[in-house]
Amino acid sequence: MNNMNIDQLFNQHFADSPAGATTEKPVVVCAPGRVNLIGEHTDYNDGFVFPMALDRVTTIAARRRTDTRVRIFSMMQDQMAEFTVDLEVAKAAPKWSLYARGAAEALRQRGLIAHGMDALIHSDVPLGSGLSSSAAFEVATALALLTVNGRTLDGVELAKACQWAEHHYAGMPCGIMDQFISVMGQEGHALLLDCRDLSRRQVPLSDPNLRILVANTNVKHELVQGEYQARRNQCRRAVEHLAKRYPQVKALRDVTLDMLESVRLGMDPMVFLRATHVITENKRTTDFAAALEKNDWITAGRLMYESHRSLRDDYGVSCRELDVLVEIARSVPGVYGARMTGGGFGGCIVSLLPEKVVPLLEAAIAKDYPLQTNLKSTYFVTRPSAGARVISR
């Protein structure tokens, strides 16, 4: 959706002029999806993550209304959703609208909404792929509502508001990473984020020969939400067990491998494995950032492969299709590293490689993945891009 056809699309989907509609020129905002280069399932354990904003975005063209009615048309779903923001926003169908409803309610609670909007939504962030299409939708909705109301919100607070929406309306108890990078992404950089205090460091990915390839398994096993909550519960149980000996432990962020080993007796073996992943993944993430700052792609790639092994064996969130894609990447000479990215049980892998190796990896995926899975993978090369922004007003 570009500026050239926004007026035409608005006329198509908002041709009616009910009370409250205006004829103002739509504002256009966007918010990106993300790929997490390393640091998986650490965010809700007060740990470190290392995402970057994608060059794939959710775009919203929004026109202010004089009343508190919100009408949103999703071009992906080919469906309209409506609600009002004068009182608590209803949790109602269609299901996809819950992300927008939650973002609106978070702003309403902050006293930032006086007007509703008519909004047209388009996204090229692949849905259900672990690339955070939901966070992009939440952040874009919130930014559109703020913009038509002539209001602004600090970036950290905007991310927290959209995280709240994911928890309370979409029902996914996610960490802060997805919304944070969608708001705070910086072109040409990935973000080392401390999820405990939200301190962060922008790390350049400026080597012109470096490429990041995202490959989608095109499967999503129907386990994610329940298994996600199960992992959170196992991590909580590990902390409770550790805190009996180490009262200073508030999260797995506070634990070393030696501390974990010292309380292994009496700990559920599965809980021990989950904690092992989080503790080692935190160190891999900070080591990965240090390697990138030195342009040490070999070390960075090794850490990605180690992360995938840990996610597969210790945290138990991989699946055969993800493992196949990672092994295909490993088989291509010159690929630095690859790992699953996102919550798991399907979705995508992310690979780090030189530009000249991209055609070799693409050819290997196109040939070998269908042979091993009877599925086709879709893939794209991406670059670190900017976070949420107003394109025109």
CB contact set of 222 (below 8 Å; sequence gap of 6+): none
Contact 318, 308 (CB under 8 A): yes
Residue type, 284: R
Tokens of 60: 């919203």
DSSP 276: H
Structure tokens at 65: 């209304």
- Which tokens hold the place of 365? 């995926």
134: nearest Cα among 111, 161, 162:
162
Note the helical H segments in 116-256: 133-148, 155-165, 177-184, 224-243
In one-letter notation, the amino acid at residue 187 is E
And the tokens for 156? 């950290």
Instruction: State the burial class of residue 11 (Cβ atoms within 10 Å of its Cβ: 0-12, 13-18, 19+).
Output: exposed
The count of C-alpha atoms lying within 13 angstroms of the C-alpha of 347, restricted to the half-sphere facing its C-beta, is: 25
Distances (CA, A) of 41 to 85, 175, 324, 335, 344: 34, 8, 21, 24, 10
Task: Supply the DSSP string of 67-136, one letter for each residue.
Answer: SSEEEEEETTTTEEEEEESSSSPP--SSGGGHHHHHHHHHHHHTT--S--EEEEEEE-SPTTSSS-HHHH
Q: At what angle do helices 297-313 and 320-331 cross, to 10 degrees?
A: 160
Check if 178 is active-site: yes
Catalytic hit among 178, 197, 323, 368: 178
Sign, Cα dihedral of 350, 169, 200, 313: negative
The percent helix, strand, coil of the chain (3-state, each to 5) is 45, 25, 35
What are the residue numbers of the active site?
178
